[in-house]
Structure 1
Amino acid sequence: MSVVLFIVLIAIIIALSVALYQKTTNALCISRRRLDGKTVIVTGGTAGMGLHIATDLAHRGARVIVACPFEDEGTNARKQIVEETGNENVVYKYLDLGSLQSVRQFAADILKTEDRLDVLLNNAGVLVPGDFLTSDGMNFIMQVNYYGTFLLTLLLIPLLKKTGKPGEASRIITTASVTHRVAKIDIEHFNKTNYWKRYEIYSNSKLCIVLFAHELSKRLKGSNVVINNVDPGFVGTRIYDSANKTLGSFVTSATKILFKTPWEGAQTALHVALDKKAGEVSGAYFMNCRRIQAAKHACCAKTAKVLWDESVRLVKVTEDELEQCFK
């Protein structure tokens, strides 16, 4: 029994040490910048980190558009943000990143109803809900986390370019993950089902996000639009429920204690959305509110170009649409 107690004690000490280290090194966004007159979109801005990001930006006076595929959640989130911030200029719009049609409808609505877009914060994503193909013929996890985001971003570039100006670029922020470092470059098989373990699909989708930012930053050079990645770290949100409801609840609680709460996880995205210097770089990777180096294989220009061409083909972006983005 004494041996068991000793092992338990050591485990507790290690857990507390990890928690102490994480909580003392989690950086906070310190910007006091106001966003009056600015418009931001936060995908997945109705729960978890996204809700904290959207609420903070609304506090700063921005027009905030939160998007998700769950109407009740969206309506309730909009109400909560308005009540907390007193900012009535908050809008919920339906967006299902797992449907190319939904992405196109959302983007068309934004282009029709909004006269500016200062920040596009691609926060929405899933973990491992299932390994199946969508009606568009893409792996569900890959489509929600990457291909849907890829299409949405391209369709909104004309409005971002219209808004950006010298010294105050419009900002695209994509949510990456430390798991991109263990992903495999196998573009030909990214959309296969029953080929990858589900956690591998998630890692692959985050690798694609980083490669996308690398390629798009080159194509946007000189346009007064920048794109950067943010790595929130391990954050305790309900995203873990997709693996197993009971286990997910335990992991969520443990992650909040040992690593980051959703509010803490939101800080790097806020930093990159608000910090002056962050708005002067493009294609960069941020974690804990500072710029760090992404994995070497996520910065390969050749791989990024191959992925770009394949993504354009899969999401059916037309030549006219590309010309509108990069003319």
Structure 2
Amino acid sequence: MRILDDFTNCENGVRLDGKVAIVTGATSGTGLETAKNLAKRGAKVIIASRSPAKLSDARKNIIKSSGNGNVVARTMDFESLKSVRNFAQEMYLSEPRLDILINNIGAIALEDRLTSDNLHLMMQVNYFGAFLLTFLLYPLMKSSAPSRIVNVSSMALLLGHIDFEHMNDVGKSTFEYYANAKLAEILFTVEMHNRIEGNGVNIYSMDPGLGKSEFFRNSNVTFWKTVLNTGLLIVGRPLDRVATMPVFLAVDPRFFSNNKVLTKRLWEESKRLVRITPEEDWERF
């Protein structure tokens, strides 16, 4: 696995006719633009989010923008591991293949509380949900190889740390949880690469940088929400340009931490916390 450190030219003309792609968090922002880009290339695009109304609007937007009517909207709420499992099960029932999975969901300033799965809301939405979804869909992607997984991360990971005894404690700042989740996402990417290398599924992680979005929309402090979102709209890159980065990793034909003890432990702890069952655990076979 290589790090891509130059996104200045992520354009290519790769077609995706006959391919199936999932983009999570695709109702707005970079996720929406990523889905548009994939649809323009001819892929069947499945967008996933928790709001049926927003999904419906996004689907119409993508079809209108791309001219590709093969866009499917399916609900999935990362706040619920059951919802993630239901989504994965529906994929196996309805799709014979899966070529691209782009884990784009990310949120900051969510409530400081545990979910019904006994995981911290920020950690579950920003890490555990994507871990579980990727783990469950891997056998389908392996059977569709060559296929690719792209995890959209953030430079906030540089401020993160992994404390296995306190990963889901209530009482820390939401930004700390966000940084921890993004670090965990990078480490999970590295560990999964180590475990599946040679099976025809490539996994990448990338930082999209600043985009013109309302990323801080969940903040309950109006002043900072306004200031930070305004700042992004001023200095951020256009979202259609940001979206070329995950798409490039997902489709370009050319194509980090090396602490194996840490990544292996995080992998096993993540499997335990999201309650991977023997039937779901492809590593046993």
Question: Normalising by the residue count of structure 1, what TM-score does the alignment of the two structures yield?
Answer: 0.82
Partner-residue secondary structure (3-state), 2:217: helix
- Alpha-carbon separation, structure 2, partners of 1:38 and 1:26: 24
The answer to whether the aligner puts 1:273 opposite 2:262 as a matched pair is: no
- Bigger Rg, which one: 1
Partner-residue secondary structure (3-state), 2:107: coil
1:119 alignment counterpart: 100
Partner-residue secondary structure (3-state), 2:8: coil
2:193 alignment counterpart: 217
1:7 alignment counterpart: none
* Match 1:309 to one of 254, 261, 268: 268
1:255 alignment counterpart: 232
The answer to whether the aligner puts 1:242 opposite 2:228 as a matched pair is: no
- Alpha-carbon separation, structure 1, partners of 2:207 and 2:52: 27
Q: Which runs of 5+ in 2 are unaligned?
A: 1-5
For the 8 Å contact 2:7–2:245, the answer to whether it is kept is: no
1:44 alignment counterpart: 25
State how 1:142-291 maps to structure 2 within 5 Å: 142-164=123-145, 169-194=146-171, 196-243=172-219, 244-278=221-255
State how 1:121-140 maps to structure 2 within 5 Å: 121-140=102-121
1:15 alignment counterpart: none
Deviations 1:203-258 (A, max 9, x none): 00000000000110011112100111011012232221122345324322322322
* Match 1:319 to one of 273, 278, 281: 278
For the 8 Å contact 1:255–1:261, the answer to whether it is kept is: no
Following superposition, the deviation at residue 181 of structure 1 comes to 1.1
Following superposition, the deviation at residue 160 of structure 1 comes to 0.0
* Of 26-35 and 62-71, the range deviating more from structure 2: 26-35
For 2:187, the aligned partner's letter is L
Please give the root-mean-square deviation of Cα atoms over the aligned residues, in Å: 1.6
For 2:246, the aligned partner's letter is A
For 2:260, the aligned partner's letter is A
Deviations 1:79-113 (A, max 9, x none): 11111111110000001011010000000000110
Following superposition, the deviation at residue 127 of structure 1 comes to 1.1
For the 8 Å contact 1:120–1:171, the answer to whether it is kept is: yes
For 2:247, the aligned partner's letter is L
Percent identity reads 38
Deviations 1:27-76 (A, max 9, x none): 24211101000000000111100000000110010000000001100000
Size of the alignment, in residue pairs?
A: 279
- Alpha-carbon separation, structure 1, partners of 2:205 and 2:212: 20
CA distance 1:47–1:326, change in 2 (3 Å): farther
Question: Normalising by the residue count of structure 2, what TM-score does the alignment of the two structures yield?
Answer: 0.93
For the 8 Å contact 1:170–1:226, the answer to whether it is kept is: yes
- Alpha-carbon separation, structure 2, partners of 1:85 and 1:264: 16
- Alpha-carbon separation, structure 1, partners of 2:57 and 2:223: 25
* Match 1:101 to one of 68, 73, 82: 82
Partner-residue secondary structure (3-state), 2:156: helix
Following superposition, the deviation at residue 26 of structure 1 comes to 6.6
Q: Which runs of 5+ in 1 are unaligned?
A: 1-24, 279-293
2:3 alignment counterpart: none
For the 8 Å contact 2:160–2:176, the answer to whether it is kept is: yes
- Alpha-carbon separation, structure 2, partners of 1:234 and 1:299: 27
Partner-residue secondary structure (3-state), 2:101: strand
- Alpha-carbon separation, structure 2, partners of 1:308 and 1:109: 25
For 2:281, the aligned partner's letter is L
For the 8 Å contact 1:173–1:228, the answer to whether it is kept is: yes
For the 8 Å contact 1:27–1:267, the answer to whether it is kept is: no
The structure carrying a bigger helix percent of its residues is 1
